[in-house]
Amino acid sequence: MLAVVPPPVSVRVPAKVNVHLGVGDLREDGYHELGTVFQALSLTDEVTVAVADEPGVEVHGEGADSVPTGPSNLAWRAVQELSRHVGRDPEEPKVRVVIRKGIPVAGGMAGGSADAAATLVALAALWRLEVGRDELATLAGRIGSDVPFLLHGGTALGTGRGELLVPVLSRHTFHWVLALDRRGLATPDVYGELDRLRADGDPPRVGPVEPVIEALASGDPRKLAPLLGNDLQAASVSLRPGLRRTLRAGVSAGALAGVVSGSGPTCAFLCEDGDAALRVAAELSGAGVCRTVRVAHGPVPGARVVTEDAPR
């Protein structure tokens, strides 16, 4: 009898921006204690997982050349974590993961973590596993600090390493313009730079998170704009001083406010509405301060199966 090969499963997964990112002390495990508010944005990757004789990861799209396809790729880590969890051999999973990038690579928007979240969801559907979202979230947290949020989507408060999530009420749509830099920044370098800056002095720290949560609930971008904040910004700007100019240019172009996204170097600009975002994007792309610009909105859902006929 012929074995039935399940059809490939495709999952769409969003990018994230940290509306607020408070970085606390360095912990003994090498991570920093965070208090952050994530929002999932309409910039997406698509990840397809299929049964294959030649296992591995393939990456296509902008910046694909700089993404590792070996075991260090977070999507492959996701394959191994889920295999181990369900008692399959993590060294020999007969699956191929094809990633189509729409999220900037090494841009502070959690593109690699997004691919891991998408892979968990896709593989669970491909193998028809009875694993709940909570179980997937636990596996996600082992792969990386941002991975649970990319499963979750929407808007959420993250604590611990960023992996402990509580949903935040945000029914309204916010409009963003993203300025992508020519080269990426490695997250550990940016955290390391922050530790160095803190050892030498007193870089600015974000305020309390409560007003940010209230502004999100109000849906008013004018209330949220002055509260955007990121403790890692001083570190990314220190490593990439040109970001100062990019941040100024976005505001000059008409954005309400700008902030470095996560560890950077992508800069995220909050705009009044969708039309304003298009105007800001057009002006910013002519300003010569970044490689390219994107328009996005949030919140959007987390990793979701998009294949028509796949099990959900």
CB 206 within 8 A of CB 21: yes
Is 90 or 160 the residue whose CB approaches ligand C5P more closely? 160
Which of 161, 175, 240, 294 touches ligand C5P by CB under 6 A? Answer: 161
By CB under 6 A, the residues from 168 to 187 that bind ligand C5P are 187
By CB under 6 A, the residues from 74 to 133 that bind ligand C5P are none
Is 31 or 173 the residue whose CB approaches ligand C5P more closely? 31
Q: How many CA atoms lie within 13 A of 65 on its CB side?
A: 1
Which of 188, 207, 274, 301 touches ligand C5P by CB under 6 A? Answer: 188
Is 169 or 186 the residue whose CB approaches ligand C5P more closely? 186
Q: Which helix (H) or strand (E) holds 260?
A: strand 257-260
107 is in an annotated binding site: yes
Question: Per residue, what are the HEC states of 183-230?
Answer: CCCCHHHHHHHHHHHHHHCCCCCCCCCHHHHHHHHHCCHHHHHHHCEE
Is 16 among the catalytic positions? yes
* Paired tokens of 214: 């209230």
Phi, then psi, of 232 in degrees rounded to 5: -80, -10
Phi, then psi, of 235 in degrees rounded to 5: -70, -45
Which of 22, 93, 144, 250 touches ligand C5P by CB under 6 A? Answer: 144
106 is in an annotated binding site: yes
Which of 146, 181, 193, 231 touches ligand C5P by CB under 6 A? Answer: 146
**Minimum distance from residue 281 beta carbon to ligand C5P (Å):** 28
Between the CA of residue 52 and those of 47, 58, 96, 98, 221, what are the distances in Å? 15, 12, 6, 11, 47
Is 146 among the catalytic positions? yes
Which of 6, 7, 31, 278 touches ligand C5P by CB under 6 A? Answer: 31
Q: CA 205 to CA 135: how far, in whole Å? A: 34
Contacts to ligand C5P by CB under 6 A: 31-32, 34, 144-146, 161-162, 187-188, 191
